[in-house]
Amino acid sequence: MAFFLFLSPFIHPQLQHIVAKMTLLDTLLFYVVHFVDRLEACQGTFLGRNMPPSTSPYGLLEPHPTVVASKLLVRKKFIDNGKQFNMIACSWIQFIVHDWVDHLEDTEQVHYPDLDDEQLYRHARLVTAAVIAKIHTIDWTVELLKTDTLLVGMRVNWYGLLGKKFKDLFGHLLGPILSGLVGLKKPRDHGVPYSLTEEFLSVYRMHSLLPDTFVLRDVTSSTTEEKCPPILHEVPMWELVGIEGERKLSTIGMDQMLVSLGHQACGALTLWNYPSWMRNLVAHDINGEDRPDPVDMATLEIYRDRERGVARYNEFRRNLMMIPISKWEDLTDDEEVIEALHEVYGEDVEKLDLQVRLQAEKKIKGFAISETAFFIFLLIASRRLEADLFFTTNFNSKTYTKKGLEWVNKTETLKDVIDRHFPEMTRKWMTCSSAFSVWDSMPTPANYIPLYL
Catalytic positions: 204
Q: Distance between CA 127 and CA 264 in Å, rounded?
A: 29
The residues in 304-323 that bind ligand HEM, with binding defined as CB under 6 A, are 304
Q: Distance between CA 116 and CA 259 in Å, rounded?
A: 36
**Contact pick of 201, 337, 379, 417 for ligand HEM (by CB under 6 A):** 201
Tell me whether residue 93 or residue 145 sits nearer to ligand HEM (CB atom). Answer: 93
* HSE value, Cβ hemisphere, 13 Å, CA-based, for 236: 8
| 3-state secondary structure at position 257 | helix
CA distances 290 to 235, 238, 242, 262, 287, Å, are: 20, 13, 6, 29, 9
**Contact pick of 28, 60, 97, 173 for ligand HEM (by CB under 6 A):** 97
Contacts of 9 (CB under 8 A, 6+ apart): none
- Is 93 a binding residue for ligand HEM by CB under 6 A? The answer is yes
- Is 87 a binding residue for ligand HEM by CB under 6 A? The answer is no
User: Beta 231-236 vs 213-217: how paired, if at all?
Assistant: antiparallel
Q: Distance between CA 303 and CA 177 in Å, rounded?
A: 41
- Output the smallest distance, CB 430 to ligand HEM, in A: 22
The residues in 221-280 that bind ligand HEM, with binding defined as CB under 6 A, are 241
Q: How remote is the C-alpha of 168 from its chain's centroid?
A: 28
- Output the smallest distance, CB 370 to ligand HEM, in A: 14
- Is 90 a binding residue for ligand HEM by CB under 6 A? The answer is yes
Q: Which region, judged by CB under 6 A, interacts with ligand HEM, from 75-83, 204-212, 256-264, 318-326?
A: 204-212
Q: Distance between CA 312 and CA 162 in Å, rounded?
A: 41
Alpha helix stretches (DSSP H) within 331-413: 335-345, 354-360, 371-386, 397-400, 402-410
Tell me whether residue 181 or residue 300 sits nearer to ligand HEM (CB atom). Answer: 300
Q: Which region, judged by CB under 6 A, interacts with ligand HEM, from 199-207, 333-341, 345-353, 376-384?
A: 199-207
- Is 210 a binding residue for ligand HEM by CB under 6 A? The answer is yes
Q: Can you say whether the dihedral through the CA atoms of 408, 413, 414, 416 is positive or negative?
A: negative
Q: Distance between CA 205 and CA 123 in Å, rounded?
A: 31
| 3-state secondary structure at position 160 | coil
**Contact pick of 283, 338, 379, 417 for ligand HEM (by CB under 6 A):** 283
**Contact pick of 71, 207, 351, 383 for ligand HEM (by CB under 6 A):** 207
**Contact pick of 11, 182, 258, 300 for ligand HEM (by CB under 6 A):** 300
**Contact pick of 85, 158, 204, 274 for ligand HEM (by CB under 6 A):** 204
DSSP assignment letter at 137? I
- Is 205 a binding residue for ligand HEM by CB under 6 A? The answer is yes
Tell me whether residue 126 or residue 358 sits nearer to ligand HEM (CB atom). Answer: 358
Find the angle CA(242)-CA(247)-CA(251) to the nearest 5 degrees: 140
- Is 156 a binding residue for ligand HEM by CB under 6 A? The answer is no
What is the DSSP annotation of 383-394? HHHHT-GGGTTT
Tell me whether residue 75 or residue 205 sits nearer to ligand HEM (CB atom). Answer: 205
Residue number of the CB closest to ligand HEM reads 94
Q: Which region, judged by CB under 6 A, interacts with ligand HEM, from 27-35, 140-148, 201-209, 388-396?
A: 201-209
- Output the smallest distance, CB 204 to ligand HEM, in A: 4
Tell me whether residue 245 or residue 324 sits nearer to ligand HEM (CB atom). Answer: 245
Q: Which residues bind ligand HEM (CB under 6 A)?
A: 90, 93-94, 97, 201, 204-207, 209-210, 241, 281, 283, 300, 304
